[in-house]
Amino acid sequence: MKQWPHAPVHFTNECGAYMVTAATYYKQPIFRSEKKLQFLHDTLLYKTAEAGWSLHAWAVFPNHYHFIATSPDHPENLTVLIKSIHGITSKHVNDEDGSKGRTVWFQYWDSRISYQKSYYARLNYVHNNPVHHGVVDNALKYKWCSAAWFEKTFDVSFQKKVSSFKKNRIKVPDDFSF
């Protein structure tokens, strides 16, 4: 298979857990307002559920987002899912900003998580991504990520297990400032 030189290759032909990161065009903070962040957040949650992906962690920011989800029986629909999220949110912010035709999203990266330790480290990373970016001092304070949901949903022993995994060793495109 010849690789496209300007975008990451997406091999989503195996079921399992995936981590996805998507970036706005030139990493511009297009979703800066609370209203826009909320729309992106809600669209992400709604469309992943609609497409049969089960979310485990997510974090949404003005210029990017991350999520970890388990695929449905046909994981190749990930590209369709991302295009749907990006199409809906692009139209919304462009209508709101009066910027018809503006390019909002650039590309996305995905990886299938094949090791349990890697899965736990990535969960920890995504839940705490607002702290990583200096937005809050405690991820529970950031309403556009899964940290508070995770705390309410899972027992303390599982939370401690996930938080014990080093999140600074994973390789994720995340050089975003806003």
Two structure tokens written together for 63 = 């210029």
Q: In a structure prediction context, what are the per-residue pLDDT tens digits for the chain, which is 178 residues long?
A: 444 444 445 456 689 999 999 999 999 999 999 999 999 999 999 999 999 999 999 999 999 999 999 999 888 899 999 999 999 999 999 999 999 999 999 989 999 999 999 999 999 999 999 999 999 999 999 999 999 999 999 999 999 999 999 877 677 666 766 5
Nearest to 133 by CA among 74, 59, 67, 73: 59
Q: Any idea where the domains of the chain sit in the sequence?
A: 17-163
Strand partners for 17: 70, 113
Q: Is 40:84 a contact under the CB 8 Å cutoff?
A: no
pLDDT of residue 4: 44
What order of strands is seen across the sheet that includes strand 54-60?
A: 54-60, 64-70, 17-24, 105-113
- Residues 105 and 92: their CA atoms lie apart, in Å, by 13
CATH match of 17-163 with 3.40.50.300: no
Coil, helix or strand at residue 131: helix
Predicted pLDDT of residue 11:
55
Token pair in block for residue 45:
């949650």
Q: Determine which helix (DSSP H) or strand (DSSP E) holds 57, and give its type and residue range.
A: strand 54-60
- What residue type is 148 in one-letter code? A
Consecutive H or E run containing 78: helix 78-97
Rounded to 10°, the helix 78-97/34-50 angle is 150
C-alpha–C-alpha distance, residues 106 and 22, integer Å: 8
